[in-house]
Amino acid sequence: MKYLYALMILGSFVAAPAALASPASDALLAKYKAEGVSKIDAAKAKADWTKETKGEDGEMMSCSTCHGTDFSKAGKHHKTHKVIEPMSPKVNAERFTDEKKIEKWFKRNCKDAWGRECTTQEKADFLTFLLAQ
């Protein structure tokens, strides 16, 4: 399993077919693995992206409420309407390059959209899925 993972990382650098990994995203994914994530499911992340949960004020919320579903386009904060830069690292070079920032927004946004923190598994799935966009 360890070899497979190493190979995958190596592969992503050599071929870089889809995912745009950064040292920060690599470090985070390695951390998630160390915390027990064994199999990453990007397809589940894709489905979860638009999964709606009712917020405290009755508003239906999902990741896509603010970020949209076209990752190459900017999103919009649901309340303040502030522009949120695109999630795709191909379009937005700054995306997923700061470990602390990634964790900060996972924490806040999972709570906002789903009313709870995301599990390590969910974070690993989301991060992998988004890196490939």
Q: Which residues bind another protein (CB under 8 A)?
A: 55-57, 77, 79-82, 104, 107-109, 111-112
- Residues 6 or more apart in contact with residue 122 via CB below 8 angstroms: 45, 48, 110
Least Å from the CB of residue 15 to another protein:
34
- Residues 6 or more apart in contact with residue 123 via CB below 8 angstroms: 28, 32, 106
Which residue number, 43 or 85, has a Cβ lying nearer to another protein?
Answer: 85
Least Å from the CB of residue 16 to another protein:
29
Which residue number, 3 or 56, has a Cβ lying nearer to another protein?
Answer: 56
CB 71 within 8 A of CB 87: yes
Least Å from the CB of residue 51 to another protein:
18
Which residue number, 36 or 77, has a Cβ lying nearer to another protein?
Answer: 77
CA 97, CA 130: separation in Å to the nearest integer? 13
Which residue number, 39 or 79, has a Cβ lying nearer to another protein?
Answer: 79
Q: Kind of pairing, strands 60-61 and 53-54?
A: antiparallel
